Amino acid sequence: MKINTPKDLSALLRDARKAKKMNQAELAKQIGVYQRVISNCETMPEKMSVDMLLKLSAALNLDIKVELPQNTITKRSLSF
């Protein structure tokens, strides 16, 4: 599923959790946070940290793939 908006991310996380037949409290316990944190991630995903997104993705068996449009990466932009 391609995520284009925070609302898309919210729906994906909620649907993935429900597909695993987990409530917010169970998911929270699994990743070591309070239930309210899960609620906030599902209702305000734009405020979620990358670290939290990675934890939720791992717990829900979701893969994250970031793609850049073709021809946007050049040798110069990859220089360090």
Taking 90 as the threshold, does the pLDDT of residue 10 lie above it? yes
Q: How far is CA 40 from CA 1, 25, 59, 66, 69, in A?
A: 22, 12, 17, 23, 31
Q: Is the pTM of this model over 0.75?
A: yes
pLDDT (tens digit, 9 = 90+) per residue, 16-73?
A: 999 999 999 999 999 999 999 999 999 999 999 999 999 999 999 999 988 877 766 5
**Domains of the chain, with CATH numbers?**
6-59 (1.10.260.40)
Cα gap 77→37, rounded to integer Å: 36
